[in-house]
Amino acid sequence: PSFGFLFDIDGVLVRGKTPIPAAKTAFQKLVNSQGQFLVPVVFVTNAGDCLRQKKADQLSHLLGVPISQDQVMMSHSPLRMFKRYHEKCVLVSGQGPLLDIAQDLGFCQPITIETLREKHPLLDVVDHDRRPNVLVSIFSFKILSVVLFGEPVRWETNLQLIIDVLLTSGYPGNPYCHENDPHIPVLACNMDLMWVAEAQSPRFGHGTFMVCLENIYKKITGKELKYEALMGKPSKLTYQYAEYLIRAQAAERQWKQPIQTLYAVGGSAALSQDDEIDNSWENELASAAAARCRSVLVCTGVYNPHTEVPLDTRESITETVFHGHRDFRFEPGLVEPDHIVPDVDAAVDLVFQLENFAP
């Protein structure tokens, strides 16, 4: 094969924990009788609340084909390349086994919001029932960066403590210092404003939490919150890392033909261009080899075929159609998919037809 698949999960293969019927049919076409994939496949999800192996096991069960963790790309997977942060004390926000996830990615000194709250009991006071009895702060380490893995459960606690860390240059027990510009680095995974589960309407995603954090920071300081890196779809970093995984699969199977085309099968129409994000991670990857990436939009996800694209792109940030992150440029051409199909099974059929590929 001279092409590979990048599959979104939510809204494409599943809705919440419920499989989309077309997914199982599609994946029977992608493997041979021994269960080996006929083309390179990577699952690209903006989820960040578990380890790759757990997601691979879930997908294997749902789709009825064996999937390895090397085929799974979580929103946080590219953090493996950010080695300059791995030795530093980092505050991690999200849910799931955060310490296990951070350590699996290479971080040696991760600290959770819950641990920070225990060490600084005076900081978290919104919930009167959780206000502390012990009033002594016992934490003196300097936090050197913040990693946002995904939406947390207690937003008020995470928002408060992250702001505390940013406004004290990493010493959250100290008074705020408004001259700490630039603030310590913030790395964020998954900018999805909303995502599709079993409910009839989309649900808040990590992007909504980030909107809250950005606006609180600006309201207090008058300055914009800056990100050292943004990853997860639709960032350029995520697709470059996904292509790296596709090439690794092809090399492992000893497929000689270079991968020319990537087909990104997703439930959202938007791709974006990064604006002013640090790109020093690019040196960690071999140069991109695929000539093109084609988007195949399925109609089982967030996508609404009746939403119009705004004509004036300068106003696009306030338009409901653009749910992308603040730091991504909106370009109407990137919102238009190359192909629109009913579901993932139709997407596989279409790509086989376009590539003249007969398994």
Spell out the domains of the chain, with CATH numbers in brackets: 3-75+234-355 (3.40.50.1000), 80-230 (3.40.50.1000)
pLDDT in tens, 147-201: 999 999 999 999 999 999 999 999 998 999 877 778 999 999 999 998 877 888 8
Give the mean pLDDT of the chain: 86
Return the pLDDT at 304: 56
Q: Decide if pLDDT at 145 tops 50.
A: yes
Return the pLDDT at 172: 92
pLDDT in tens, 200-229: 888 999 999 999 999 999 999 999 999 999
What average pLDDT does range 308-318 have in this prediction? Answer: 48
**Identity of residue 141:** F
In the structure, what pLDDT confidence band is assigned to residue 23 with cuts at 50, 70 and 90? very high
CB neighbourhood size of 140 (10 A): 8
- Report residue 36 as tokens: 């080996």
Q: Decide if pLDDT at 276 tops 50.
A: no
- Give the residue with greater pLDDT, 181 vs 145: 145
147 torsion bin: left (phi>0), alpha (psi -120 to 50), beta (else): beta
Cα–Cα distance list, 56 to 33, 59, 66, 190, 339 (Å): 20, 5, 8, 19, 27
Return the pLDDT at 291: 67
In the structure, what pLDDT confidence band is assigned to residue 29 with cuts at 50, 70 and 90? very high
In the structure, what pLDDT confidence band is assigned to residue 117 with cuts at 50, 70 and 90? very high
pLDDT in tens, 326-340: 887 656 655 678 899
**Pairing of the two strands 145-148 and 89-93:** parallel
pLDDT in tens, 235-262: 888 888 899 899 999 999 999 888 999 9
**DSSP three-state, residue 287:** coil
The gap from C-alpha 344 to its chain's centroid, in whole angstroms, comes to: 21
Percent of the chain with pLDDT strictly greater than 90: 58
Percent of the chain with pLDDT strictly greater than 70: 83
Q: Which helix H or strand E contains 58, and what residues bound it?
A: helix 52-63
In the structure, what pLDDT confidence band is assigned to residue 287 with cuts at 50, 70 and 90? low
Q: Decide if pLDDT at 275 tops 50.
A: no
Q: Decide if pLDDT at 305 tops 80.
A: no
Return the pLDDT at 230: 93
Return the pLDDT at 213: 98
Return the pLDDT at 319: 46
Q: Tokens 């004290």 correspond to what residue?
A: 168
